[in-house]
Structure 1
Amino acid sequence: MECEPIWSDASDVPARVLIVDDHPAVREGLGFRIARCPDLVVCGEAADLSGALSEIEATNPDVAVVDIALGAESGLDLIRRLRSRHPPVKSLVWSMYPESLYAERALRAGAMGYITKQAATGRIIEAIRRVLAGEIFLSETAAHQMLRRVVGSGSSHGEISTEIPSPEATLSDRELDVLRLIGSGLTTSEVAERLHLSVHTIDTYRQRIKIKLGLRNGAELVRAATQWVLESRWPVI
């Protein structure tokens, strides 16, 4: 049974779970599921990065279940801060976005697992428990894709692809954040404000993105960013 406890003895106490998601109904649904499991307890909820950091200070969770999209903010930024400021707190990403987009980035940021919300209905409790046990949780497909990238594509013919690299394969995490906000319709100054960076820094990121994606000017950047946001199903801000 999904919620049968995995305690080793009667003295164990429930593991503390923090839910970080910008949709109240999603937090509520996951909270109900966790509440059915006697070895787990929801110690707090948050809708954004600052709220999550406050809850972590106040509740000292064992694991944080974090969405990638937190409004204009990225859950990856929260995971990085957890790794540097609160290393005992394990993190599990659950997201509506495919693992191919963000699973590897999430692990590099410090997460111990990635699960899509489509799969979460049947496996979210398993994922939380695996992460609490110190294990990495990924689907077999995502694990296989990462392994293939580590050992190489397997091509032995020296073929050169003419396909334009996808943003998620080419850009750094911060560059991807900038691309997402540009594609959501924000100006350079608005992107700078959202990411708490200078306009000059955002201009530098814009230039790097154009070079990496082979874009000639700002108009092409905006079109490419908008198309990527729509295709990736990011919520338009």
Structure 2
Amino acid sequence: MKILIVDDHVIVRDGVIRLLSAIDGAVMREAATVPDALALFRSDRPDVVVLDINLKGGSGLELLRRIRAEDPSARVVIFSMYSDVVYATSARRAGALGYVSKSATSDQLLVAVLRASRGEAYVDTAIAGEIAETAFSPAEHVTQLSNRELEILSMLADGKSLSDIADTLGVAYKTVANTCTRIKEKLGVERTADLIRFAVENRHIRVVGTGREAGPA
């Protein structure tokens, strides 16, 4: 099995390589940046990609979208510091088969990679439990939000400014501002301050229903 590990921290890549070396016949390559990861993906066509969300000079979710655009059959497992349903849902919508937080037990990443190699989905147990707990929340209007809108809402909850979000996503400030306007319209809030308050106070509630298909970005 060919596995591409994409993370900008050497110590993380080393740990993942040691863990996945338990897989018989595993051949692993590693990358720290979006350009290097794309180049290796194109040349090696790995069976599974293990991908972090935060990468230097780019977003792992954007890389996931680019990989899936080039190869819709690509099998990707997100391995991220974020143990948040918003990110797990965003990753799923972008085409990831698996999502494992870095706070999960090591065997869960191994299971996720093995399942992904067979085309099966896997979400680590803590996040899966949170999804189950919030499945019947009354915040149904959140289901109107697109993948990108959910991503921006999550960043607002983390205290990022619109400029920070624009830099992280690699888009213009005006693009983020316009997206926030659409989010406010969908959620029925008028001011950006109210939107931020909603994001912070409803970190779990706001992700309810994101297992459903959302509208276009």
Determine whether 1:206 maps to 2:175.
Answer: no
Deviation string, structure 1 residues 130-184 (Cα, Å, up to 9, x no partner): 11112222356728947x95xxx4xxxxxx94xx6797x6632212333455554
Change in 2 beyond 3 A, CA 1:116/1:193: closer
Correspondence for 2:86? 101
Percent of matched pairs sharing the same residue: 33
Residue 178 of structure 2 aligns to which amino acid in structure 1? T
- Are the counterparts in 2 of residues 62 and 88 from structure 1 also a CA contact under 8 Å? no
- Are the counterparts in 1 of residues 52 and 80 from structure 2 also a CA contact under 8 Å? yes
Determine whether 1:176 maps to 2:155.
Answer: no
Correspondence for 2:2? 16
Correspondence for 1:34? 20
Change in 2 beyond 3 A, CA 1:58/1:228: farther
1:192 counterpart (163, 166, 190): 166
Correspondence for 1:5? none
Cα drift, residue 90 of structure 1: 1.0
Deviation string, structure 1 residues 185-221 (Cα, Å, up to 9, x no partner): 4444x54344343343222112122334444323444
- Are the counterparts in 1 of residues 141 and 186 from structure 2 also a CA contact under 8 Å? no
Q: Considering only aligned residues, what root-mean-square deviation do their CA atoms show, in Å? A: 3.5
Aligned residues between the structures = 200
Query: Which protein has the larger Cα radius of gyration, Structure 1 or Structure 2?
Result: 1
Structure 1 segments unaligned to the other structure (5+ residues):
1-14, 154-159, 230-237
- Are the counterparts in 2 of residues 99 and 115 from structure 1 also a CA contact under 8 Å? no
- Are the counterparts in 2 of residues 74 and 177 from structure 1 also a CA contact under 8 Å? no
1:83 counterpart (64, 68, 72): 68
Distance 1:58 1:193 in 2: 29
Distance 1:194 1:103 in 2: 18
Cα drift, residue 228 of structure 1: 7.7
Change in 2 beyond 3 A, CA 1:101/1:197: closer
- Are the counterparts in 2 of residues 114 and 137 from structure 1 also a CA contact under 8 Å? yes
Counterparts of 1:56-205 in structure 2 under 5 Å?
Answer: 56-70=41-55, 73-98=58-83, 100-139=85-124, 142=128, 145=131, 153=136, 161=138, 171-182=145-156, 183-188=158-163, 191-205=165-179
- Are the counterparts in 2 of residues 72 and 181 from structure 1 also a CA contact under 8 Å? no
Change in 2 beyond 3 A, CA 1:100/1:187: closer
Structure 2 segments unaligned to the other structure (5+ residues):
204-217
Deviation string, structure 1 residues 80-100 (Cα, Å, up to 9, x no partner): 222111234311122233363
Distance 1:73 1:171 in 2: 23
Higher relative contact order (CA 8 A, sep 6+): 2
Distance 1:214 1:63 in 2: 41
**TM-score normalised to the size of structure 1?**
0.66
1:45 counterpart (31, 34, 38): 31
Determine whether 1:54 maps to 2:39.
Answer: yes
- Are the counterparts in 2 of residues 20 and 52 from structure 1 also a CA contact under 8 Å? yes
